[in-house]
Structure 1
Amino acid sequence: MTHASATGAYPAARPRRNRFDAFTRRMVAEHALSVDNLIWPIFVCDGTNTRSPVGSMPGIDRVSVDLLDEHLARAVELGIPAVAIFPITPLDIRDASGSEATNPGNLICRATRRIKEIHPGLGIIGDVALDPYTDHGHDGLLRDGYVVNDETIEVLVAQSLNQARAGVDIIAPSDMMDGRIGAIRAALDAEGFVNTRIMSYAAKYASAFYGPFRDALGSGGLLGGDKKTYQMDPANSDEALREVALDLAEGADMVMVKPGMPYLDIIRRVRDRFAVPTFAYQVSGEYAMLAAAFERGWLARERTILESLLAFRRAGCNGVLTYFAVEAAALLRRG
């Protein structure tokens, strides 16, 4: 029996009937977007009473730790479950080894402690990689121009423990070193952080869509060469499944695909194969493209934001890191 004969044929079968009115469309909707699916990435900078816009990301600011109460108030009021913190490390404290990553007083740690004081119910996701801290802009340690794997892992482990001690709920390694999930999991467990989760950037591609993010962190001009020896080739899909399988075997609790919309096929494959909590990052370049189209009146802002995020849910995501999180949450509340 063919699919068509099993479901009927025109004129008896008219799929448009189930689109006739709003309540029917709601009843038969296959996927839904809610505030619980939204994670807000925030940029934290040094200083006091400091707020500075990211030029390539209209509407997005870097804020100092003392302004976090004000900055996060709307997100908390709307019920956004978690924020992901990204630090803008001053150039004068960056070095070749990324030593600021393991400083208990670094920006992520200070921001985490402050958020736990003012909004204790808000989840905190801590980025683990060395690119915000190195003077060369790479995610790991350089030896003769090559990012070395095992030596980098030692620093990533120390960075993860540093964040866990500060109160970070979810460690999110975004570096793409082989074997780092197992090493981080073992170190966390050994120190008693058995409930500190790991959201692995398991399939992170060497993408052109990260440019505005690097501008936001102030690392774009530092990067020599590219990251193709450790981030994934955009041509590869099967490889993503292998990367996810390895990270899950090493103890990842959740996995991430990055970037987002250009890689919806990868998200779908990951979800179908592993059926584990799966997330995506609607990255800075995706945000910047949409924001530019909104500014020019080429796209309807509100409808496009929600449609773009619903696409992630349809592809199989539990949640999305998106710079539109607060605006989307407000739109969902309004209905």
Structure 2
Amino acid sequence: MTGHVTRMRRMRRTEALRSLVRETHLRPESLIYPLFIVPGEGVRKPISSMPGVFNVSVDEALKDAAECVELGLGGLLLFGLPPEKDEQGSGAWDEQGIMQTALRAIKRESGLKSLVTIADVCLCEYTSHGHCGIVARDGEEYAVENDSSVRLIAKTAASLAEAGADIVAPSDMMDGRVEAIRAALDEGGHQQTPIMSYAAKFASAFYGPFREAADSAPQFGDRKTYQMDGANRREAMREIEQDLLEGADMILMKPAMPYLDVLKEARDRYEVPIGAYQVSGEYSMLVAAFERGWLERERAIIESLLSLRRAGADFIVTYFAKEAGRALG
């Protein structure tokens, strides 16, 4: 009996064969498109550090949402930029706030029912100081208070659920906020509203362009006392486990590509839906390479997203969602 020669290339010979044995699939319904909602009408303001991404008024957001439906995308992740800010970020839970207004407008449109609306829950876009919670000052020193911030974050989540959010997504990284949000949702009659926790959100340089998009840069200090240290994978697992124990229904990893090992370990450990957020810096550095002709645009976009699916993401938040949806269609 003669031995045989292993030929791994046999199954790569044609596109049909490659498709037949492909292990990881990327589909439009697994993509979530972020939207930055601003006051006004007819507003579509370019974000200079994120070419192709815009701050949009509610009427323009509805046009983007309709395009997402046409492309078969899974949903929207909504951020709001209020007309005014204050120390507590009171616009975050205002019944007539920018996010609440946008959610109600989207829910009124029967043609948008296939889109899942995910409301980001944080105070940073609404506070005058740009931090994700209440700041206590002692002379030149400052600290972001945990428990007082959690109370307002829970209040915000309940307000967004009341306005129609399908999912609320706390991104603040305060301790105990998932438990507080679950209690606030249940007390408000929103027992069926899931919580998608940014359970492992790292303090990252890759958020830079987002700060322009959401007008949320801290006016002093940084966020390293509440966002995670990028060196700590084991701590990330503790954060995820704690949020699940407190009642999170699903988790989101942020950033995505620089933390694929964290995503993979979370996928191996936890049997819950897991998403990855391909953040602004990841988007902008790829676009910069495209504009210089250094990378082939469509191939690089799809490959970057496939890496997240392969590592274990069930769904992906990405500014490339519409473009990828067109390519996959």
Residue in structure 1 matched with residue 236 of structure 2 by the alignment: 240
Is 2:292 the partner of 1:304? Answer: no
SS at match of 1:85: strand
Residue in structure 2 matched with residue 75 of structure 1 by the alignment: 68
SS at match of 1:103: coil
Matched-pair contact (CA < 8 Å) for 1:95–1:135: yes
Q: How is 1:254-269 mapped onto 2 (pairs within 5 angstroms)?
A: 254-269=250-265
Residue in structure 2 matched with residue 190 of structure 1 by the alignment: 187
Identity level (%): 51
Is 2:108 the partner of 1:117? Answer: yes
Residue in structure 2 matched with residue 29 of structure 1 by the alignment: 22
Residue in structure 2 matched with residue 211 of structure 1 by the alignment: 208
Q: Give the CA deviation at 1:128.
A: 0.6
97, 106, 130: which is aligned to 1:106? 97
Matched-pair contact (CA < 8 Å) for 2:76–2:116: yes
Q: How is 1:1-335 mapped onto 2 (pairs within 5 angstroms)?
A: 12-90=5-83, 93-118=84-109, 119-144=112-137, 145-220=142-217, 222-333=218-329
One-letter amino acid of the structure 2 residue matched with residue 310 of structure 1: L
> How many positions carry a matched residue from both structures?
321
One-letter amino acid of the structure 1 residue matched with residue 93 of structure 2: T
**TM norm structure 1:** 0.94
**TM norm structure 2:** 0.95
CA distance in 2, matches of 1:37, 1:81: 6
Deviations 1:143-169 (A, max 9, x none): 121111111010011101110110001
Matched-pair contact (CA < 8 Å) for 2:35–2:61: no
One-letter amino acid of the structure 1 residue matched with residue 49 of structure 2: S
Deviations 1:167-191 (A, max 9, x none): 0010000000111101111121122
**Structure 2: runs of 5+ lacking an equivalent:** none
One-letter amino acid of the structure 2 residue matched with residue 288 of structure 1: S
One-letter amino acid of the structure 2 residue matched with residue 17 of structure 1: R
| Of 183-192 and 312-321, the range deviating more from structure 2 | 183-192
Deviations 1:87-115 (A, max 9, x none): 1223xx21111111110111110000111
CA distance in 2, matches of 1:12, 1:240: 44
| Of 310-319 and 79-88, the range deviating more from structure 2 | 79-88
CA distance in 1, matches of 2:36, 2:168: 17
Q: Which runs of 4+ in 1 moved over 4 A?
A: none
CA distance in 2, matches of 1:44, 1:183: 26
One-letter amino acid of the structure 2 residue matched with residue 203 of structure 1: A
One-letter amino acid of the structure 2 residue matched with residue 256 of structure 1: L
Deviations 1:181-223 (A, max 9, x none): 0111112112221110100000000000011001111223x43
CA distance in 2, matches of 1:89, 1:292: 29
Q: Give the CA deviation at 1:74.
A: 1.4
CA distance in 2, matches of 1:27, 1:13: 19
Matched-pair contact (CA < 8 Å) for 1:94–1:100: yes
Q: Give the CA deviation at 1:11.
A: 5.9
SS at match of 1:197: coil
CA distance in 1, matches of 2:4, 2:254: 44
CA distance in 1, matches of 2:189, 2:318: 31
One-letter amino acid of the structure 2 residue matched with residue 261 of structure 1: M
Q: Give the CA deviation at 1:311.
A: 0.5
CA distance in 2, matches of 1:231, 1:69: 32
